[in-house]
Amino acid sequence: MSSSATAWLSHHARRWALAACAAVALVAGLLVGGTTTSQAADTQPCDIYASGGTPCVAAHSTTRALYSSYNGPLYQVRRSSDNSTRDIGVLSAGGYADAASQDSFCSGTSCVITVIYDQSGRSNNLTQAPAGSAAGGPDNLANATAAPTMLGGHKAYGVFVAPGTGYRNNHTNGIATGDNPEGMYAIFDGTHYNGGCCFDYGNAETDSRDDGNGTMEAIYFGNIKVWGYGSGNGPWIMADLENGLFSGVNQHLNSNDPTINYRYTTAIIKGKQNHWAIRGGNAQSGNLSTFYDGVRPNVSGYNPMRKQGAIILGTGGDNSKGAQGTFYEGVMTSGYPTDATENAVQANITAAGYGSNTGGTTTGGTTTGTTTGGTTTGGSTQGSTGGTSSGCTATYSTTNSWSGGFQGEVKVTAGSTAVNSWTVTWTLGSGQTITQVWNGTLTTSGSTATVKNASYNGSVPPSTSTTFGFLANGTPNTPTLTCTSA
């Protein structure tokens, strides 16, 4: 743990005591106004859970503080140029991430996320996942700039999990074990998923092995249909309980679990003795819906549960790592939260302003910082730009290179009028092949690469930018880009 995190913890016991004294008044105010769009200046999700009698025992976010008093680091990045690291904190206590600190530190090079700090004070930090029984390791670390977002008018970064990426903590403090009750929520990018196993966040085995039915309780998000599934084509919020993803009481189809793909999706799983629930909603607006609330699955091995208390992000309990997704924030609680508590947390989430370029809500203190979107380029090699007559320009930079491969980034900038969608094309250099793209959709035809906007970043206001990135085999060059828009 960093020195700044250690210093913050010295004040944590006092904050817990104060929170307990204020619990009755706080929960009353929150639950009466749980569906409003404004956010109380002195409350964040873990304050709400504590007031409901189910305190957070793990709290992870790369975008904002999850306690109103938290003023420590959110995550740590490591840059490739010299392998040095930097903790990325908040702009003020209880506030948004200081993305500008990451941008300046990673300028001209590339960075990965090495640690996602636990804000609960229990040191349940997430670090590079080790090998497991399903796949070797250590797993890959997330590209620190691959999931840019806006939050209440402030720039932030999520955790972009490509297949092969994973974080874990097998030596936790306070996480539920056995059949003890717990709750958890996470905010995911509902448009970034696949049918691989398994994009999870939550409770898993402490030995990174498949230890049998009922040894996990984690949120899963994706559209795999090997085990359980819901209505439509997915993605679905399901519970990974080990040796099965469950969408309800049945082992396979539970039609009440709907396809849910909001750009920012709230996903909730909670469980206690022979009872569990799935809830979800739009993290930008509206209320939560309950997709399942009942007894444990009608398959042997899940009543009682045998949870072990590790924490995973991006993989299955045995380190299955074929899935993809994007994580912004999440917590795990001690005890089974009430629906009313979770509804108040959802109101806090929607007030935080995911995807919003403007402020207007308070996150536990005055915050200052950038109010424009996009990703800082700062690449080592700048490329040419497309013409402005088509409504947009595109600028290329090589952000990292190694023997046999490189990482590129393209900034798409709107002209004097807004664009609703954009397409960037260029000719690949000799021997170049693109292996992965984020924040865009790739097609290739011969040596021509074409990237179209993703569903969430096609709309670009006048004179502002968005970015996409890619990994490629071969030697980097300076391509000529063409940008067209509609």
Residues designated as active site: 242, 318
Omega of the bond leading into 45 within 30 degrees of 0 (cis): no
In 3D, which of 55, 325, 84 has the Cα closest to residue 176?
55
Q: List beta partners, residue 59.
A: 331
Give the 3-state secondary structure of 234-289: CCEEEEECCCCEECCCCCCECCCCCCCCCCCEEEEEEEECCEEEEEEEECCCCCCE
Sign of CA dihedral 91, 97, 103, 109: positive
Tokens of 201: 């966040």
| Type and span of the H or E element at 379 | none
Tokens of 21: 């004294």
Residue 383: strand, helix, or coil: coil
Residue with tokens 């009942």, as numbered in its chain: 294
CA distance 17 to 14: 5
CA distance 350 to 210: 36
Cβ-based burial of 130 (10 A; exposed 0-12, middle 13-18, buried ≥19) = middle
Cβ-based burial of 404 (10 A; exposed 0-12, middle 13-18, buried ≥19) = exposed
Does residue 316 contact residue 238 with C-beta atoms inside 8 Å? no
Dump the DSSP string for 90-137: BSSTT-BB-HHHHHHHHTTS-EEEEEE--TTSS---BEE----SSS-S
Phi, psi at 281, each rounded to 5°: 180, -175
Tokens of 365: 């203190």
Tokens of 435: 């292996």
In 3D, which of 176, 197, 185 has the Cα closest to residue 305?
176
